[in-house]
Amino acid sequence: MIWKTRRQTLDLTEDTAVMGILNATPDSFSDGGEYSLTDKAIKRALQMIEEGAQIIDIGGESTRPGAEAVDASEEIVRTVPIIEALRRQSDVLISIDTSKVTVAEAAINAGADIVNDVTGMRDENMVHLCSGSGVGVCVMHMQGKPRTMQENPSYENEGGVLPAIQAFFTERLVSLEALGMNTDCICFDPGIGFGKSYQHNLNLLRGLGELQTSRPVLLGVSRKSVVGQLIGENDPAQRDRATAIVTALACKSGIKLHRVHDVKAAMEAIHITDVL
């Protein structure tokens, strides 16, 4: 299985790729404000690359539960200087974490290779932009919006969360192809923690193998509340070891893309899983 991005095609048949998270926001749930300055952000990005990250995912708007919206202009100010600076120093694949077309366009012009859209590429203008530029896309499932998504999420009418996510992946693949997108450029994210209860998240993690079909699945579980609830840890920064365990188990289920904060721990988990 391959995943085509603007400058590089990843062969995920055997290999596993890690996407390092770089939040250029003051209110991220786990590292808010820490990497909002360009110099510090670049230092952190280069560290993640040295640790093995093949993709750096840069976001300028927090999507944590209850997060306030950010203007596109502010998002661009937060992210584009980092993308430009990182592109000057590295050939690493760069992803922009945004749902706004103007932000995605500015990021692509600055050197981004991937658009990571938590709203699932619902905006046809975003689809046309991504198709025309040849970037890879991450299409995520989210029930509701960040400010309200954790207010009693329910999937009972769809027969449960797993069939609902499978149906979403199928619908999005058909719809995006109909709009002219190369399906080789698409990967899917089940959206752990985005409009899902603790039990919904557990059901998705148990069923990851069933979600991996014709397109690669990106798992973004790093430091999230489901991990904290599993181990009884309220501090997101103390959830990296547990995240690495989930990463290893996900590898056994066939997941080849992992979005994490602690790249070194994820790479070790993947290596051990591959060897054993």
Q: What single DSSP character describes residue 159? A: T
* Helix, coil or strand: residue 166: helix
Q: What DSSP assignment string belongs to 21-67?
A: EEE--SS-TTTTTTT-SHHHHHHHHHHHHHHT-SEEEEESS--STTP
Residue carrying structure tokens 């080789």: 184
The contacts found for 84-89 with CB under 8 angstroms, 24 or more apart, are 84/110, 84/111, 85/38, 85/42, 86/41, 86/42, 86/45, 86/56, 86/58, 86/111, 87/111, 89/42, 89/46
CA atoms 23, 24, 29, 33: torsion sign:
positive
| 254's tokens | 């066939």
* Helix, coil or strand: residue 153: coil
Nearest Cα neighbor of 189 from 207, 212, 206 is 212
Q: What are the strands of the beta sheet with 114-117, ordered from one edge?
A: 186-189, 136-140, 114-117, 93-97, 55-59, 17-23, 257-260, 218-219
| Per annotation, catalytic residue among 64, 224, 239, 264 | 224
Known catalytic residue: 259?
A: yes
Known catalytic residue: 224?
A: yes
| Per annotation, catalytic residue among 64, 223, 256, 259 | 259
Active site residues: 224, 259
